[in-house]
Amino acid sequence: MRGVLGNDQVRDGTAVERVYACDSYSIERHEPECVVFPRNTYETQLAVQRCIEIDVPFTARGAGTGLSGGVTAVKGGVIVSTKRMNQILEVDPVNRCTLVQAGVVNQKVNNAVKPFGLMFAPDPSSQTVCTIGGNINENSGGPHTLKYGVTADHVLQATLVDSRAQVIVAGSRVSGGPGIDPLSLVVGSEGTLGIVTEAWLRLVPMPERIETALIAFSTIRSAVDAVVEVMARGVIPAALEMMDKHVLSAVEKAFGLDYPKGSEALLLIECDGRSQQAESEIRSAIEACLDCGATNVETAGNEEDRKRLWTARKKGIGAMGRLAPTIVTHDGVIPRSRLPEMLEFVYAIAEENSLGVANIFHAGDGNLHPCFYFDEREPGTVERVLAAGEAVLDKCVELGGSVTGEHGIGLEKIDSWSKSLSANDLRLQTTVREAFDVSGLCNPCKVIPNQKGCVEHRRRWSGAAT
């Protein structure tokens, strides 16, 4: 690799192995042989070509903020980091799109297009650090997915290097092109079809007005009832997020904030659009919450207030380090109407396994993020965490949902996902992957269960997920 890219673009050694052994909260850990840092599509092509020549697997990695083990080097080999592919190549405000390299940070895109009154709508909670390539690989969502949709709705075209080291351009700058749409296969493929190096992104106008409210409830049930009622009244908020009392406790300890006493849950509701529309929608949402038993309502009078109201949601998971040294978060999706039943199950399964659990999630989408917090140094704890997580995901499927909404399958959810696949479903998924990844070297052992040569590489625990 040094012969191909140069010394400055290759890293190896014990420190590199440790840093790149897992993603943000993944339990799985696998060390790469080395990490390479190409600066463009051509250098990525050179790196992949070299991997093919020496029969070494390669795995694309952005900022490493994933939550399902998708960027772990299961068979060792080479991590291809997009960190240095960090240029915004073109902004086209007239046609509301922008061309960026895969390593550009999500927030940087918005900073660049804001002067034109535009924004890139997908805003994962890790927006300040996560990268566009990773967003595309995972089809990332975020707090504003409810109104604006996921990453797939905002990508026009993607350039990738496949496992033949060929450069493929999927999609186009205009939507609705003829033929089979390979872009729809690439977005959400979790890096198993190739390494995305560039993308044209769709931009949307910034809203004229944003109205934000933080609403407290004395019971979990009244909060989830309010979620259903808000949507039933025809309001489609830009964001409808929920945090339970465990998250609030962590945030209060971490940032010295005070929330209404006796609150079991908070809803963060944000409506945007033209001034009259935003004001009308937030009023309707607040009325729905009050009808469901809300005990306190606080609204933002300015941008500073808005940021403060968002604190619990934006920094909740990070603050949970105050509760325990180790956190594992999941990502199941269910119909909104089943939220009460699902949350009762989550709390019950945590108690059954003697674990702490906090819920902070995209309530409007029914996209759960139960966070189990624990100390992995206690014997048997990890096994209980794994059992609890699998039970939660199984329940999501049972209630008509899915094992993931935005975190992907990666390595950690293969077993749970395979339970919801028929033999024909699995055959189709495998056929699509093999059409792109003929060598089997591109991010092996991810997403598709029972891949050849991958079973022996599955191991449930070899380090902390902190």
Residue range(s) of every CATH 3.30.70.2740 domain in the chain = 324-409
| Residue count of the chain | 466
- Please check the confidence at residue 465 and state whether its pLDDT lies above 60: no
> In the predicted model, what is the mean pLDDT of residues 415-421?
86
Q: Please give the pLDDT value at position 433.
A: 92
Q: Please give the pLDDT value at position 347.
A: 96
Assign residue 55 a region (left: φ > 0; alpha: ψ between -120 and 50; beta: otherwise): left
- Please check the confidence at residue 453 and state whether its pLDDT lies above 70: no
CATH entry, 324-409, from 3.30.70.2740, 3.10.50.40, 3.30.9.10, 3.40.50.620: 3.30.70.2740
Residue 455 pLDDT class (50, 70, 90 cuts): low
Mean pLDDT of the chain: 92
- Please check the confidence at residue 443 and state whether its pLDDT lies above 80: yes
> In the predicted model, what is the mean pLDDT of residues 143-158?
96
> In the predicted model, what is the mean pLDDT of residues 331-352?
94
- Please check the confidence at residue 152 and state whether its pLDDT lies above 70: yes
> In the predicted model, what is the mean pLDDT of residues 221-239?
95
Selection from 71, 116, 231, 97 nearest residue 154 by Cα: 97
- Please check the confidence at residue 461 and state whether its pLDDT lies above 50: no
Q: Please give the pLDDT value at position 259.
A: 92
Give the fold, CATH level 3, of 88-205: 3.30.465
> In the predicted model, what is the mean pLDDT of residues 178-188?
92
Residue 373 pLDDT class (50, 70, 90 cuts): very high
Q: Please give the pLDDT value at position 376.
A: 86
Selection from 47, 4, 102 nearest residue 441 by Cα: 47
Residue 24 pLDDT class (50, 70, 90 cuts): confident
Alpha-helical runs (H) found in 292-422: 303-309, 311-319, 339-352, 381-398, 414-418
User: What's the burial of 209, exposed, middle or buried (CB within 10 Å: 0-12/13-18/19+)?
Assistant: middle
451 versus 59: the higher-pLDDT residue is: 59
Q: Please give the pLDDT value at position 28.
A: 75
Q: Which amino acid is at 81?
A: S
253 versus 25: the higher-pLDDT residue is: 253
Q: Please give the pLDDT value at position 109.
A: 98
Q: Give, to the nearest 10 degrees, the angle between helix 311-319 and helix 245-255.
A: 90
> In the predicted model, what is the mean pLDDT of residues 196-225?
97
Q: How many CA atoms lie within 13 A of 282 on its CB side?
A: 25
240 versus 438: the higher-pLDDT residue is: 240
Selection from 336, 317, 79 nearest residue 191 by Cα: 79
- Please check the confidence at residue 459 and state whether its pLDDT lies above 60: no
Q: Please give the pLDDT value at position 463.
A: 37
Question: What's the rounded Cα separation, in Å, for the pair 442 and 80?
Answer: 11
Q: Please give the pLDDT value at position 25.
A: 66
- Please check the confidence at residue 131 and state whether its pLDDT lies above 80: yes
- Please check the confidence at residue 249 and state whether its pLDDT lies above 90: yes
Residue range(s) of every CATH 3.30.70.2190 domain in the chain = 207-319
Give the fold, CATH level 3, of 207-319: Alpha-Beta Plaits (3.30.70)
Lowest mean pLDDT among 23-37, 64-78, 142-156, 374-388: 23-37
Alpha-helical runs (H) found in 54-210: 106-113, 132-138, 145-148, 182-186
Q: Please give the pLDDT value at position 367.
A: 94
Residue range 284-330, pLDDT digits in tens: 999 999 999 999 999 999 999 999 999 999 889 889 989 999 888 88
Residue 452 pLDDT class (50, 70, 90 cuts): low
Q: Please give the pLDDT value at position 457.
A: 46
